[in-house]
Structure 1
Amino acid sequence: MTQSTPDQPLRLASSTVSRRTVLRNTALGAGALAIPGVLAACGKDSGSSGNSKTVTFGSNYSDAIPKAGIAAVMDAYQKSSGVTVKINTQEHNSFQENISRYLKGNPDDVFSWFAGNRMKFFAAQGLAADISDVWSGLTGFSDALKKAATGDDGKQYFVPIYNYPWAVFYRPSVWQAKGWQPPKTLDELTALCKTIKGAGMDAFAFADKDGWPAMGTFDQINMRTNGYDFHISLMAGKESWTDPKVKQVFETWASLLPYHQQGANGRIWQDAANSVYQKKSAMMVCGSGQIAQSFQGADAADLDFFPYPMINTEFGQDAVEAPIDGFMISKKAKNLEAAKALIKFLASPDAENAYQSKDNGNIPTNSGASTSNFSAFQKKCQAYIAGAKQISQFMDRDTRPDFASQVMIPSLQSFINKPSDIDSLLKNIDAQAKSIFATDN
């Protein structure tokens, strides 16, 4: 396997596959459109059938830094177990776009995926193997993490390796030079945005070509305005999108849009993150696991964050968005015994330590993992998650995949293009939500 550890700060290239399609095809399941040839052959002729010394792994860790992290993990497992891991890496979005076809075709034994509803969707379809027996022997995970790995039937289908916080990220050196301070309230944020705009910079780097990044901004403003419980209830289809509480979220967001990079629907998140790196934008709402890829080497010390500012004093800054990534076993695994042995290792502190040796943007989920080499940035990320009163996953993980893809992606992109027509937008979202969630509630 090839490891890639760039000597220079990583400048991320554009992806040609949109997450709009990723989510749409996840929701469509068997009828999903797929790019011919992508993933379909991942498990083909793997040679793992009947061979306990070989196991295959389908990976979406395609960017240089996470790819090096997963390579380090698999190298560690091969050395400790004597088992060969055949890694089939696909471009991140392409992997997700073809996941339904992949799992129903000829999948690898183990594959990378996400916790929460994204995991439950495939568990409910019978496409993932029950690993409750593996979980019975695991240590170092909180009850909350086990819950995030549990399907609607009460069985476990997923093991986590890391999570990462969403917040507002910025370059301290730039802010110190300008005399700017992290805002704690919405009024302070608005005043700061005006100052930054006056200095000739975009206050917020912003991108939504792939549809999902704007979801993170919505989540932040909604939880700060209406609290975690309302947000999760809204994501579950139990609240009306025409509720004045939701309208307030969009009105607040609309007031801040003039301070965001324009043309967001034509820009991918990597370009937005790089604009913060290049000192063209002052800050960005995103995940630490994303933006840290643009801050490597000496630049890693010049990346910091603050919680999204308080909007409603009732809820303060209690809620933190911290998505969980990890692994599952396909129901069609050719070598279930070897797959379970690998996934048990992937849940161990040794695996998490190996991954962290290459990727400084994510936080290991096992309490036994070492933090001795953590940077100040990683320590702050870890403390931020640990101090949260509530933790959300992310809109497209906290709600149904069809609602996220078919309704929220186009709706948020429409809002970005025309933020003045909020009433019509919310009526349209609400009508579609009632139809989609009708069988759930």
Structure 2
Amino acid sequence: MARSSFDGSAIPGSVAGHRISRRGLLRGAAAGTGAVALPALLTACGGGPGGDGKTVTVGSNSSDAVPKKAFADAFAAYEKQSREGRKVKVNTVDHNTFQENINRYLQGTPDDVFMWFAGYRMQFFAEKGLLHDISDLWRGYQGFSEALKAQSTGSDGKQYLTPYYYYPWAVFHRRSVFERYGYTAPRTLDQYIALARRMRKDKLVPIAFCDKDGWPAMGTFDYLDMRSNGYAFHRALMAGEEAWTDNRVRAVFDTWRGLLPYCQPGANGRTWQEAANSLQKRQTGMAVLGLPHPGAQFPEDERDDIDFFPFPEIAPEHGQDAVEAPIDGFLMAKRSKNLKHDRNMESARDLLAWLATGKAEDVYLAGDPNNIAVSDRADTSAYTPIQKKAVELVSGARHISQFLDRDTRPDFSSTVMIPAIQSFINDPKDVDGLVRGIEKQRKTLFAPDS
């Protein structure tokens, strides 16, 4: 059996990606005072308090067709192998809606198990007492690296997450488009810009660009910062330990401003699905996205045409040594009414233990070849060329980040960075005003008593 080479030894803490609208913020504030009930969209789908002891309810944010079907296959495989006749009932909610409402969901009547992200945001909910400790399950898990265990561990040293897959961010394109026009993958920023100019002459919009969801453009910022200033500085910046008025941060936005003329205009009104579709339709030449994003929007018979290259080098001393590779997985909700009963708890834990196996990942990835298994017990022999290339990209990295909205405080990413980046995209001229505004809020949110 082939084995995954993913290690991720340098992965920092992380925070989940989500877009917070003004309405969403007001809803959240009201919910904090008990004035608003949990939205019906994001309530548990189980059969009431106590359940039946054999049915595990799962809250899912995988609303796109490809992962939704792949998860259905995985849960069906679990049910088939269950000697106790256990079942899985899935409550699928639109990805962004799930993320916007996750805090109130977990404090209301959540499902037994839910999909979420490794690192900081998992730690955030663990500290609030909203997750079940699964450290004893972890003692039986096999095939996970120590780095994966660290990303599944709360600040109290206990494990809360069962990791399931990861995926890298890179610059995606259609292989056939590059072949048609004779393009070659750039290694440096200057070559990247030169390629963008060629694409524009060839009547292509060089870079597909989107940020309606509030998080896609964060990937571009992360790469610009890590390539310009190095991974250590980027991690410190995300941790609130560096000032956003630092000239190194100003330089990142100045570099980004130079790229915007080559990007699709109107990014704040475009979803990531629409940006990926423009790549599929050969309207755009490149897109900075995660592996699942173009994969989910290309027809199955065209997915072999998807290719990527690492985000280009900016400062030679940092090269291309850092890669964004977020990790997703499953957690147990502390406030699930079903889990107060021993039989339901046993069933939920049994599901997590199965999901931690290589077999479970094999079933999922057979239907969604846009992610990479985290377990070294998974069979990678059937990996597509792009999956194999993704493994090489991540395993060859010196440093691995999760993503801006997974690597910092959730309130900083949602209430500060989302509007800041969207404001910059709309009007990139006033970088000084932009970083001063971010810095003022950083000092407040990262104050010792906050």
Quick check: 1:130–1:156 contact (8 Å CA) kept in 2?
yes
Change (3 A) 1:183 1:26: farther
Quick check: 1:219–1:231 contact (8 Å CA) kept in 2?
yes
Give the structure 2 partner of residue 142 of structure 1. 145
Structure 2 counterpart SS, 1:175? helix
| CA positional deviation for 1:83 | 0.8
Q: How many residues align?
A: 422
Moved over 6 A (4+): 25-29, 32-35
| CA positional deviation for 1:134 | 0.5
Choose from 252, 255, 274 the match for 1:252. Answer: 255
Give the structure 2 partner of residue 209 of structure 1. 212
Distance in 1 (alpha carbons) for counterparts of 2:320 and 2:27: 32
Distance in 2 (alpha carbons) for counterparts of 1:220 and 1:25: 32
Give the structure 1 partner of residue 393 of structure 2. 384
1:270 aligns with 2:279: no
Structure 1 counterpart SS, 2:316? coil
Choose between structure 1 and 2 for higher RCO, CA contacts under 8 A separated by at least 6 residues: 2
TM-score w.r.t. length of structure 1: 0.92
How big is each residue's C-alpha offset from its partner over 1:371-397, in whole Å with a ceiling of 9 and x where there is no partner? 121110111111111111111000000
Change (3 A) 1:332 1:363: same
Give the structure 1 partner of residue 57 of structure 2. 56
Distance in 1 (alpha carbons) for counterparts of 2:121 and 2:324: 16
How big is each residue's C-alpha offset from its partner over 1:172-221, in whole Å with a ceiling of 9 and x where there is no partner? 11011101111000111111111111222111000111110110100010
1:228 aligns with 2:237: no
1:49-198 to 2 correspondence within 5 Å? 51=53, 53-81=54-82, 82-198=85-201
Distance in 2 (alpha carbons) for counterparts of 1:29 and 1:364: 40
Unaligned stretches of 5+ residues in structure 2: 1-17, 339-343
How big is each residue's C-alpha offset from its partner over 1:13-72, in whole Å with a ceiling of 9 and x where there is no partner? xxxxx82249959986952977731122434527625x2x22211111211111111111
Give the structure 2 partner of residue 304 of structure 1. 307
Taking only the aligned residue pairs, the percentage that are identical comes to 53
Q: Which amino acid aligns with 1:183?
A: P
Give the structure 2 partner of residue 427 of structure 1. 436
Q: Which amino acid aligns with 1:382?
A: V
Structure 2 counterpart SS, 1:429? helix
Distance in 2 (alpha carbons) for counterparts of 1:29 and 1:140: 44
Structure 2 counterpart SS, 1:20? coil
Quick check: 1:224–1:316 contact (8 Å CA) kept in 2?
yes
Q: Which amino acid aligns with 2:99?
A: Q
TM-score w.r.t. length of structure 2: 0.90
Give the structure 1 partner of residue 445 of structure 2. 436
Change (3 A) 1:365 1:30: farther
1:373 aligns with 2:382: yes
How big is each residue's C-alpha offset from its partner over 1:418-438, in whole Å with a ceiling of 9 and x where there is no partner? 111101100110011111001
Quick check: 1:27–1:405 contact (8 Å CA) kept in 2?
no
Structure 1 counterpart SS, 2:111? coil
Q: Which amino acid aligns with 1:70?
A: F
1:309-388 to 2 correspondence within 5 Å? 309-333=312-336, 334=338, 335-388=344-397
Unaligned stretches of 5+ residues in structure 1: 1-17
Give the structure 2 partner of residue 13 of structure 1. none
Distance in 2 (alpha carbons) for counterparts of 1:293 and 1:216: 18
Change (3 A) 1:29 1:178: farther
How big is each residue's C-alpha offset from its partner over 1:119-140, in whole Å with a ceiling of 9 and x where there is no partner? 1111111000000001011011
Change (3 A) 1:94 1:46: farther
Give the structure 2 partner of residue 19 of structure 1. 19
| CA positional deviation for 1:339 | 1.1
Structure 2 counterpart SS, 1:314? coil
Structure 2 counterpart SS, 1:241? coil
